Amino acid sequence: MVTDDAGHGEGGLTPLQSEAHAWIRRLASGEATESDAQTLRRWCGRSPAHAAAFSEASQFWQAFGPVGRSLLDDEKAAAEALRSADRRVMFGRRALIGGALAASAAGLFAVRPPLGLWPSLSELRADYRTGVGEQRRVVTGDGVAIQMNTRTSISVDIAGDPDAVELVAGEASFATSGRRFKPFSVIAAGGKASADDARFDMRRLDSGACVTCLADEVRVEHRGRLVTLGPRQRVAYDGGGLGEIASVDPAVAAAWQNGLLIFNMTPLREVIDELNRYRAGRIVLLNQALARSPVNGRFRIDQPDEALTQIERAFGVQSRRLPGGFILLS
């Protein structure tokens, strides 16, 4: 690599900055493992400069959002943006020093990765996990059938209780048996869903969870409040508490279990968010004027880019495809 007097490469990034961005690309590929997380921790711990480089790269993603991520494939543009980011990001390389800096960089992986583009350490350490576009069926020792959707992590035997699991991330469907001695519980985001003999879905949201009852009866608890769901009913909760019970179409709610995504007058931005769950990289809608445009359609989960092609035709948007599965829609 040809470098200038300051040690910058041809693209304008120092070797450490290039390595840090390579880490970002690896983690955002959807194939990161716990071994990657531990290796990253060691890499960040080699020196404050290593931790600073990774922190800068991560802060770059957070500060510039989806559009800025495309710059990671153009090192010269990334270097220029990083220099600008030094002035805009609340805490940059100079504000973070020593051990605190290393802890901050490692923590970006362990707690909440920037923009949720790669699994947190708690997800990687879960007992069961699915990758991008993967689905998996698990049966517990006492006969509870669990269908895991894409990007889902589940931990079992919570606090020594074989009748409780934790939905760490993602979405799963649970089918219990009436022959149980005690209710089966799923814990997620500070709440709990319990059932004796039922079939229900649970999905982790950004700051809470959503529970959908598909058959029989499910009890949902959150912050001391309890509601009971019957078939075709759904409730969500977050930091603001339990929401209102809503009716759902079970054919739409459970479509993912049959390999389908069904949208009925769904805002385009929500459709894009859903498609992003089933593919590596990221689809970014730049044309915000179309964000609320309704979408109707049935798409196959294993062909998210085919769904994207149909959306491009329907709305007349232009797409720019970048390395790493990134697509910009304008």
In degrees, to the nearest 5, what angle opens at C-alpha 98 toward C-alphas 96 and 101? 45
Residue 246's pLDDT band, with cuts at 50, 70 and 90, is very high
Mean pLDDT of 166-180: 89
Structure confidence by residue, pLDDT tens digits, 14-50:
888 888 878 877 776 666 777 877 788 888 888 888 8
Q: Is the pLDDT of residue 149 over 70?
A: yes
Angle, helices 268-276 vs 304-315, to 10°: value is 160
pLDDT greater at residue 26 or residue 89: 26
Residue 118's pLDDT band, with cuts at 50, 70 and 90, is low
Q: In whole angstroms, what is the distance from residue 267 CA to residue 214 CA?
A: 24
User: For position 112, what pLDDT does the model report?
Assistant: 53
User: For position 51, what pLDDT does the model report?
Assistant: 82
Which residue spans of the chain are classified as CATH 2.60.120.1440?
A: 143-248
pLDDT greater at residue 116 or residue 314: 314
Q: In whole angstroms, what is the distance from residue 55 CA to residue 102 CA?
A: 8
Residues 6 or more apart in contact with residue 241 via CB below 8 angstroms: 222, 223, 225
Structure confidence by residue, pLDDT tens digits, 266-292:
999 999 999 999 988 778 888 889 999
Which residue spans of the chain are classified as CATH 3.55.50.30?
A: 259-329
What class is the 143-248 domain?
A: mainly beta
Exposure b/e, 17-30, CB count within 10 A at least 16 = b: bbebbebbeebbbb
As a whole number of Å, the CA-based R_g of the chain is 22
Mean pLDDT of 139-164: 88
Q: Is 2.40.10.10 the CATH classification of the domain at 259-329?
A: no
User: For position 179, what pLDDT does the model report?
Assistant: 65
Q: In whole angstroms, what is the distance from residue 164 CA to residue 160 CA?
A: 9
